[in-house]
A and B are shown apart, each in its own frame.
Chain A
Amino acid sequence: MQNPKRSTLGWFWQAVTGALLLLLLGVHFIAHHFIAAGGLRDFNQVIAYLGNPIIIALELAFLVAVTIHAMLGARSILFDLGLSAQWERRVTRGLTVVGVITVLYGIWLIYAILGANSAVAFWAR
């Protein structure tokens, strides 16, 4: 066994995150659209849903998996524009930054939503 090359890992992670997404997206879709009454949660239902730490963990895992999958996929598609080696490096770096920002945004969003909830709880009191 040797250290896998980056090229192998790209395909490998795309497959692994893809398999994870089948699972997590199933949970995500069912939880949000099939279990929730009327197809979507209203605000209070969202807060109650996010009150469960397991759900937060699952949603974060989903966010990380989907971002990695999307960035690797976008990279592969952009490379199919027939880029120069220099542009290929730029695309790789650029998408890494976009991916990190996406995950950070998602984490911030959960905090902000729960924060808004505490504000609601405050005003409701």
Chain B
Amino acid sequence: MKLSLPENQKLRFLRWFDFRSWRVGMLAYILNRVTAIGLVVYLYLHLVVLSILTGGPTQWDPFVALARSPFFLALDVILLAGILIHGLNGVRVTLTGVGVGVGAQKTLFAALMLVGAVLLLAGAWKIFMG
């Protein structure tokens, strides 16, 4: 079926992020997709960075010193936020998909995000202060 509306033909994927609806499920879906893309990009960055290890301590240790700087630690907190949002939202999708909490998906999402927020605060504390 061909869509004839001009806006439909170009950049269709932008419709993944139709922010007009701030309803819980749509928000969860958008968050899930944004974090998914971010985490895949991070996964490959991470794997490439790990190749520095093959260069031995002379190459790895200066990198670790850099990665312990506050800027990189802040990036770690963002990473943790992405993991928590994506992982906990995955719990919602999986549970509802097998019939658990179907009637309470909004409450489920809110509760999971609350758990995520607590874990994020604890994680951020540990990353900076630990």
Report A-B touching, CB under 8 Å. Answer: yes
Instruction: Identify the A interface with B (CB < 8 A).
Output: 11, 15, 18-19, 21-22, 25, 29, 33-34, 38-44, 46, 66, 70, 73-74, 77, 80-82, 102, 105-106, 109, 112-113, 115-117, 119-120
Query: In the complex, which residues of chain A have a beta carbon less than 8 angstroms from the beta carbon of B76?
Result: 33, 39
A33 to B64, CA, bound (A): 12
Given contacts A34-B126, A34-B130, A77-B37, contact A40 B53 (CB under 8 A): no
On whether the beta carbons of B40 and A74 are closer than 8 Å, the reply is yes
Nearest A residue (CB) for B53:
A113
Task: Chain B residues near A66: list those with CB within 8 A.
Answer: 43
Helix, strand, loop or mixed for chain A's interface? helix
Is residue B55 within 8 Å, beta carbon to beta carbon, of the partner chain? yes
Tally chain B residues at the interface, Cβ within 8 Å.
37
Residue numbers in B under 8 Å from A39 (CB-CB):
67-68, 73, 76, 127, 130
Is chain B's binding surface mostly helix, strand, loop or mixed?
Answer: helix
B64 surroundings in chain A (CB, below 8 A): 40-43
B13 within 8 A of A: yes
Q: B13, B54, B68: which contacts A112 (Cβ < 8 A)?
A: B54
Number of A-B contacts (CB under 8 A): 86
Binding site for A on B (CB under 8 A): 12-13, 16, 33, 36-37, 39-40, 43, 47, 50-51, 53-57, 60-61, 64, 67-68, 73, 76, 80, 83, 87, 90-91, 93-94, 97-98, 123, 126-127, 130
In contact, A42 and B87 (Cβ under 8 angstroms)? no
Separation of A105 and B46 alpha carbons in the complex (Å): 12
Q: What are 9 of the A-B contact pairs (CB < 8 Å)? A: A22-B87, A22-B90, A25-B83, A38-B68, A41-B64, A43-B60, A80-B13, A80-B16, A112-B54
Residues of chain B within 8 A (CB-CB) of A38 are 68
Residue of A nearest to B65 (CB): A42
Q: How far, in Å, is B68 (CB) from chain A's closest CB?
A: 5
- Cα of A74 to Cα of B60 in the assembled complex, Å: 31
Q: How far does the alpha carbon of A73 sit from the alpha carbon of B60 in the complex, in Å?
A: 31
Distance of A119 Cα from B56 Cα, bound (Å): 9
Compute how far the CA of A46 lies from the CA of B44 in the bound complex, rounded to whole angstroms: 20
